[in-house]
Amino acid sequence: TVAPFLSKSKVQISVAFTTGQFKMTTTNSSYTNGELASRKDSARRLAANMAVDENLQNCQTIGIGSGRTMVFVVERIAELLKQKSWSVKCVPTSYQAKQLIREHGMPLAELEYCTAPLDWAVDGADEVDANLALIKGGGGCLLQEKIVDTAANSLVIVCDEAKISRQFGERWRAGVPIEVVPMAWALVKRQIETRFGGRAVLRESAGKMGPVVTDNGNFLIDWQFDAQQKWEQVDRELHMMPGLVETGLFIGKASAVYVGKFDGGVEKLLPPDGDAAGK
């Protein structure tokens, strides 16, 4: 079922599993999993290009997020820098982001040596709700992302339309990522489940035995909530739990969200009432 607030979209989405193969059905056509991945990449690239074109200026310091979408963002930044003979400095949010910046020959900057706010930061999201609140951290870089995003004058989000929902949990089912000190993960898990319900799961690594370890040497818990919450209040309470380092709830951070559509368009979403996101 398509959420009511998405009814104006030209491409309405429904999901089904048919003969063991994922298919996505829209009002225009059906896609196999491979075709859907290609459509998503095309949509993200279009959104990335528009976001960079509208925000990039000469001599800026930019926070660079993590994840697949950032490949398209960094490619566009590098392309424009070459075309215009501009120069910028890039602050990475992860080892992956650092490598991506280096591969494209752009100067790196470390946040601790930046004496002024970053001009803007750009990142992806796992889910964006109707108020432009975000769930981030599916890739495990939420702590660095939140630090860099908070250090910037504005946060620009780039995603495809499958990430847009009316409320959290409609599209992103893996839960809210939460970074914890290793010795405290079981305590934090119990406190979350007792206080807020749902299920908090230690994230296991697909590449090795044992839990995922972040760039900061911490563990990740994915909180699969079973009811809607007052998310700003929940985020404050979560931060009071000893051993909890950071959450994947980014409330009131996004200044603009560039949404790539599967029909080839891009929609720019702004916070409600046009207010700039609060820092």
CB 139 within 8 A of CB 171: no
| Same domain flag for 90 and 225 | no
| Active site residues per annotation | 145
Report the domain count for the chain: 2
Sheet holding 219-224, edge to edge: 199-202, 219-224, 176-180, 244-247
Burial of 214 (0-12, 13-18, 19+ CB in 10 A): buried
Q: For the chain, what's the residue count? A: 279
| Same domain flag for 131 and 151 | yes
| Same domain flag for 90 and 132 | yes
| Same domain flag for 259 and 149 | yes
| DSSP-H helix ranges across the chain | 33-55, 69-84, 95-103, 142-150, 185-196, 231-238
What CATH number does residue 239 fall under?
A: 3.30.70.260
The model's pTM: 0.85
What CATH number does residue 155 fall under?
A: 3.40.50.1360
| Same domain flag for 59 and 158 | yes
| Same domain flag for 262 and 214 | no
Task: Provide the domain limits for residue 162.
Answer: 37-167+251-274
Tell me the angle at which helices 231-238 and 185-196 cross, rounded to the nearest 10 degrees: 150
| Same domain flag for 206 and 77 | no
Asked, for residue 102, whether it belongs to a domain, the answer is yes
Asked, for residue 228, whether it belongs to a domain, the answer is yes
Torsion of CA 40, 41, 45, 48, to 10 degrees: 70
Asked, for residue 259, whether it belongs to a domain, the answer is yes
| Same domain flag for 93 and 228 | no
Asked, for residue 139, whether it belongs to a domain, the answer is yes
| Same domain flag for 155 and 220 | no
| Same domain flag for 163 and 219 | no
pLDDT tens by residue, the chain, 279 residues: 333 333 333 333 333 323 333 333 343 445 566 666 788 999 999 999 999 999 999 999 999 999 999 999 999 999 999 999 999 999 999 999 999 999 999 999 999 999 999 999 999 999 999 999 999 999 999 999 999 999 999 999 999 999 999 999 999 999 999 999 999 999 999 999 999 999 999 999 887 889 999 999 999 999 999 888 899 999 999 999 999 999 999 999 999 999 999 999 999 999 987 555 545
| Same domain flag for 153 and 184 | no
| Same domain flag for 231 and 181 | yes
